[in-house]
Amino acid sequence: KVMSFYLFLFLLPILLIKIPILAFGVDVPKQVETQPVAYAANVTKEIPVVEESSPINVLLLFTHSHEAYHPIVKQVIGVNANYDPSTNITDTSDLITHHFQLNNAQVDLLQYDNMKEMKVTNRPFYQAYAAIRPVLQKQLNTKPYDLVLDIHRDSAKHKITTLESNNESFARIAFVVGAGHSNYKLNEAYAKALSAEVNKIVPNISRGVMTKTKDDGNGIYNQDLSSKSILIELGGIQNTQEEINRTLAVIAKAVSVVFENNTAT
């Protein structure tokens, strides 16, 4: 009896530990895991994938395709000229494409020398927008464009169309909106957004948005064909290649920012 009593006392602590475990049916680990544990929450957690955004689709055209810059055309033909059939504003198309591609934009060039074709058909200068309209409309039917960009050269002098900023010179720009159609407010809003954005990048590089009716000129500028059709006066007759190049980089960046802001809202 005495031996049984001492045996009971010896086994009592062990029984007190085992009984609760057995009561709840919990298995006792056989060994301690010394390796790192991969938690299910970490394994199954969704990792966001960063995808490149779709490029902006831009259609580029030159309604007044023979507009020229004096410093550029003089290097080629030796004299100043406001218009030239071979050295003219269309030569900026490669620069525009380059700067826009750097800002995630794909540029399609409307392959049409409007002023050459007008000369062949003996159409007067004021009919330029009517002359290019069917060609432009046909291209717009091929795919959707986020921006239709008609580039012109202003006739204003160097003092008006040039800006000095941080020891560099830029060709100033102006946005022209035709108010002669019912949906011009859409184009105007986009032009104002672009004007504000380029001025954030280089203050005062934009001369502003000029809204014109038929009393001021064409009044439509074929902008009724797209709600994001923009006419930009890129510098003036005395701006240089370097000034134009710097400004095109600013325009491309501004288009990218404005487009991203619009798609985010």
pLDDT band at 8 (very low <50, low <70, confident <90, very high): low
**pLDDT tens digits, 133-186:** 999 999 999 999 999 999 999 999 999 999 999 999 999 999 999 999 999 999
Torsion of CA 81, 87, 90, 92, to 10 degrees: -100
Starting at the edge strand that comes first in sequence, how are the strands of the sheet with 105-109 ordered?
Answer: 105-109, 56-61, 147-154, 229-236, 173-178, 206-212
Distance CA 99, CA 196 (A): 19
pLDDT at 260: 85
pLDDT of 118-146, one tens digit each? Answer: 999 999 999 999 999 999 999 999 999 99
Bridge-based pairing of strands 168-171 and 147-154 is unpaired
Arithmetic mean of pLDDT, 204-209: 98
pLDDT at 10: 55
Number of CB atoms found within 10 A of residue 260's CB: 13
The H-or-E segment that residue 70 falls in is helix 70-77
Contacting residues for 146 by C-beta, under 8 A, at least 6 apart? 56, 57, 58, 228, 259
pLDDT tens-digit profile of 13-26? Answer: 555 444 443 333 33
Cα 10 to Cα 16: distance, rounded to the nearest angstrom: 11
